[in-house]
Amino acid sequence: MSILESLNDNTAKASDVGEKFIKTSHQYYKLKIFQQLTISLSLMTKVFVIGGFFIIGLMFLSIASAIAIGNALNNLPLGYVIVGVVFLIIAFVIHYKRDFIDRRVIQEISKKFFN
């Protein structure tokens, strides 16, 4: 009978250890998901706040430079056209370099996600 009791005790201990492992793993993954969500939300918030101020600053600089170029050429609409063309050129360059940007974003996010 002692062998059966020993086997029963070992089975009960293994069951307890298994349940503890499952509970601990579940808590760990909940915390890991929470960490990833907060990092992502924090990143998105920073992007929107900093990006918003950057866009506003860029708008004011664009308008000011268009007015300055227009005054220098004695033709205000031409100043706006020149600034618009500069932005289009920048947009095309970024469009053709988008693969590089995608790779950089994936590398940075994977560092944070798999850390």
Phi, psi at 61, each rounded to 5°: -65, -40
Average pLDDT, the chain: 88
pLDDT at 10: 74
Q: With beta carbons less than 8 A apart as the criterion, state whether 76 and 63 touch.
A: no
pLDDT at 101: 82
Q: How far apart are the first and last CA of the chain?
A: 51
Which pTM was predicted? 0.62
Residue 111 pLDDT > 60: yes
pLDDT at 1: 53
Q: How confident is the model at residue 100 (pLDDT cuts 50, 70, 90)?
A: confident
Residue pLDDT, tens place only, 69-97: 999 999 999 999 999 999 999 999 989 98
